[in-house]
A = this chain, B = another copy of it.
């Protein structure tokens, strides 16, 4: 309605967009970030190079768009307890990072972004921030269940809650990424359980009463203990 800015000339092909992003993902799988070229993506998509450059300013931005959709697959099923919810999302996130198109692309675009503000912003809005809602939602549910205390009232309380969300997000995502890509060891259910135990105990003992989950004995607690 309001965007009648483009009226004249041939409109852009929506099919081309889809074909290009599909081609980008398949090229990532086969060639990795380093082997991916604009010309090759164009050829796979049956499209001219010009068409790519008309839509994205750089390879990095195109890849961010191509990969972002994969992160939307992550969901937070309500499994009845915070422990179960966290373990589930840890494993789902690890599985996502195991896929060749994400594994190779994520670190590469982050590396590019260290020198490119626009790209960094695009990554944050397109990928990072959209996943943070998983933490927000999980926390809300846990509070509803009584597993976590409610947010303190007032603007200071909200800020503290935000800081807590950010910390938990960086710890979970960071640990999984580091384990998976830097340490290069696989994220097993055992490891996920240990990480979850560490996290929940860390959260619970500082604030208020012991949550319910702390009472459930974890069978292999020793592996996660220090």
A residues at B contact (CB < 8 Å): 32-34, 103-104, 106-108, 110-115, 120, 123-124, 128, 139, 148, 152, 160, 163-164, 166-171, 173-179, 181-185, 191, 194-195, 197-207, 214, 218, 221-226
Contacts and interface: CB of A to CB of B under 8 A. Distances in A.
Nearest to A195: B167
Given A33-B111, A104-B114, 11 more contacts: A106-B111, A108-B108, A163-B223, A167-B195, A168-B226, A170-B175, A174-B175, A174-B177, A202-B202, A204-B226, A206-B218
A223 B164 CA distance: 6
A173 B173 CA distance: 11
A51 B173 CA distance: 40
A199 B170 CA distance: 13
Number of copies of this kind of chain in the complex = 4
A104 to B, nearest CB: 5
A194 B198 CA distance: 14
Nearest to A208: B225
Q: Which has the most chain B C-beta neighbours within 10 Å: A163, A178, A202, A222?
A: A202
Contacts of A182: 110, 123, 128, 173-174, 177
A97 to B, nearest CB: 10
A167 B194 contact: yes
Contacts of A164: 223-226
A183 B167 contact: no
B195 A206 contact: no
Question: Which 6 pairs, one residue from A and one from B, show the smallest C-beta to C-beta distance?
Answer: A174-B178, A202-B202, A174-B174, A107-B111, A108-B111, A203-B226
Contacts of A115: 32-34, 104
A179 B182 CA distance: 15
Nearest to A210: B205
Contacts of A170: 175, 178-179, 183
Contacts of A124: 183-184
A204 B163 CA distance: 23
